[in-house]
Amino acid sequence: MVGASHGSSAGEVIAVPKDSDLKSVADLRGKSVAVAQGSSAHFQLVSSLAKAGLKLSDVKVSYLQPADALAAFSRGRVDAWAIWDPYTSQVLRNGARVLTTGEGVVNGLGFQVAAPAALKDRNKAQAIGDYLTRLRRAQDWAHGHPEEWAKVWSKETGLPYEVALDAVKRSSGTRVAVAVDDAAIASEQKIADTFADLKLIPKHFAFEDFVDKRFNAELPASTAPAHSYGKASS
């Protein structure tokens, strides 16, 4: 890990159909939930269930990547979907509702990674530093120009503009560059340990062994407040 950004966790949700009888996370007991295995949404599902006094084994988990999960959710083959933006904005635009969000549950961190061999090469390491600087400027621009960024994102990905704009306002446009510091490492260690305990990864490991702090510069702490535009319409 060579870089990090912190954004709102409002786009990490457990969604249910608009007419679903489910009113709280506790109601998920015995129900089917789609989630991408090993994703941030997976950790959010585990943590949200724990908050409600449930274990992962208390629900019927369907491990599906977003495209397949969207199809299953849209056709009523699963009762709920643990997902992130822009899929969150997409299903909300189509009438789904939020059972719970990742706010206060997941850390809102995203990371940039580099190959160890590249980090040992002086010229490549300089290029990585330059890339991270440019990325931080781009994130700041997106924060100040949500409509323009949504138009670009929509054009490049094929997302409907309204979905892209909702996602920018809800989560992706809230990101601010932060340091890969001790707090970030500790938070990610908790996720790694959780996945190891669930046998989703082969073994426990020290997250800090995969962190390079040389690019932290004068960046704010990883717990710095994310930019906020307020709640996106749905």
Helix (H, G, I), strand (E, B) or coil at 223: coil
In 3D space, the residue among 213, 215, 210, 1 whose CA is nearest the CA of residue 109 turns out to be 1
- pLDDT class for 223, splitting at 50, 70, 90? confident
Tell me the per-residue pLDDT of 169-199, one tens digit each, with 9 for 90 and over: 998 888 899 999 999 999 999 999 999 999 9
Q: Which DSSP string corresponds to 139-167?
A: HHHHHH-HHHHHHHHHHHH---HHHHHHH
For 134, counting Cβ atoms within 10 Å of its Cβ (0-12 exposed, 13-18 middle, 19+ buried), the class is: exposed
Q: Mean pLDDT for the chain?
A: 93
Which domains does the chain show, CATH number per domain?
1-221 (3.40.190.10)
Q: What is the pTM of this model?
A: 0.90
Tell me the per-residue pLDDT of 76-91, one tens digit each, with 9 for 90 and over: 999 999 999 999 999 9
Q: Which residues pair with 62 in a beta bridge?
A: 34
Tell me the per-residue pLDDT of 123-166, one tens digit each, with 9 for 90 and over: 999 999 999 999 999 999 998 999 999 999 999 999 999 999 99
With contact defined as beta carbons under 8 Å apart, do 25 and 157 qualify? no
HSE at residue 1, side-chain half, CA atoms within 13 A, is: 23
Distance, in Å, from the CA atom of 97 to the CA atom of 79, rounded to the nearest integer, reads: 12
With contact defined as beta carbons under 8 Å apart, do 153 and 195 qualify? no
Distance, in Å, from the CA atom of 160 to the CA atom of 88, rounded to the nearest integer, reads: 13
- Token pair 């710095």: residue: 224
Identify the pLDDT of residue 210: 97
